[in-house]
Amino acid sequence: MPREAILDPRQEILRTAARLFQEQGYDGTSMNDVAAALKLSKGGLYHHFQSKDEILFNLMDHAMNITEERVINKVRGLSGAEERLRTLIRLHIEVVLSESDREITVMLHENHPLPPALRRRINARKKDYVHFVQNLIADAQRARGSQGSVSPRAAAFALMGMINWIYQWYKPEGELRGPDLVRQYTEIFFAGALQ
C-alpha cells in the first residue's frame, strides 16, 4: 500500500482554503466556509490550525516553496546566462498560470496584515526571489555586453510586474494562450532589458 495514499489533512485544508481564498478573497471567506467545504465542523477545523492567520501564512509559505522548487531550483541546474533567464521567465509564467497552484495568486493579491513575525518571513523570501532574478538579469546583460542603461533592479521589477499582473486579465479560453504568452513576454523582455 502507498505510504501517502491519504493526503496529509493539513495539506488538504490548505488546498481547499487556497481555492476559496482565491475565489472570494481572504476576508470574504469565513472559517465556516472552509470547514463546510471540507465537510468538517469549525471546531474540527481548529483542531488542525489554531488560527485563520496560520492558514494564510502556511499558504504563502507553501507558495514560496513551490516557486523555489519549480523555478529557482530548475534554473540553478542550467548553464548559460541567457538560457537561464529565458527559462526563469517561462517557468514563472507557468507557475502563475497553473490551475493547481492557487496559493500563488492568493499570495500575489492578498495583503491581509499577518502578525509581524510571519509577515517578515514571507517578505524576506519574496525579497530573496527578486534578488535572484536581479542577478540573473545582470549576468545576462554582462554576457551580452549590453550598454547598461537599464539597471538590473528596474528590469527585475518590470519583469515581476509583467508576470505577476497576468492573473488580473488572463483567461484560459481567451485569445492569448499560455505558450504564445510566454513567447511574446520573453521577446519583449529580452529586447527591452538586454539592449
Partner DNA sequence: ACTGAAACCGACCGACCGGTCGGTTTGGGG
Partner DNA sequence: CCCCAAACCGACCGGTCGGTCGGTTTCAGT
Would you tell me which residues interact with a copy of itself (CB under 8 A)? 24-25, 27-28, 109, 111-113, 130, 149-151, 153-155, 157-158, 160-166, 168-169, 175-176, 180-181, 184-185, 187-193, 195
131 binds, among DNA, a copy of itself, none (CB under 5 to 8 A by kind): none
Distance of CA 35 to the CA centre of its chain: 25
Number of H helices, E strands in the chain: 10, 0
44 touches DNA (CB under 7 A): yes
* Cβ partners under 8 Å of residue 18, min gap 6: 59, 102, 103, 106
| Window 13-42: contact mask with DNA (x via CB under 7 A) | --------------x-xxxxx-x---xxxx
Q: Determine which residue in the list 2, 5, 43, 173 makes contact with DNA, applying CB under 7 A.
A: 43
Q: For the chain, list the strands marked E by DSSP.
A: none
119 touches DNA (CB under 7 A): no
Give the H or E element holding residue 113. Answer: none
Q: Which is nearer to DNA, 26 or 132 (CB)?
A: 26
Q: Which is nearer to DNA, 7 or 78 (CB)?
A: 7
CB 70 within 8 A of CB 91: yes
Question: Which contacts qualify for 167-172: CB closer than 8 Å, 24 or more apart?
Answer: 167/96, 167/97, 167/105, 167/108, 167/109, 170/97, 172/97, 172/99
CA distances from 146 to 18, 79, 89, 195 (A): 42, 19, 19, 6
What three-state secondary structure class fits 126? helix
Q: Which is nearer to a copy of itself, 27 or 128 (CB)?
A: 27
9 binds, among DNA, a copy of itself, none (CB under 5 to 8 A by kind): DNA
184 touches DNA (CB under 7 A): no
58 touches DNA (CB under 7 A): no
Q: Which residue has the cell 481555492?
A: 19
DSSP state of 166: G
| Window 142-181: contact mask with DNA (x via CB under 7 A) | ----------------------------------------
Question: Which residues here bind DNA, judged by CB under 7 A?
Answer: 9, 27, 29-33, 35, 39-44, 46-48, 50-53
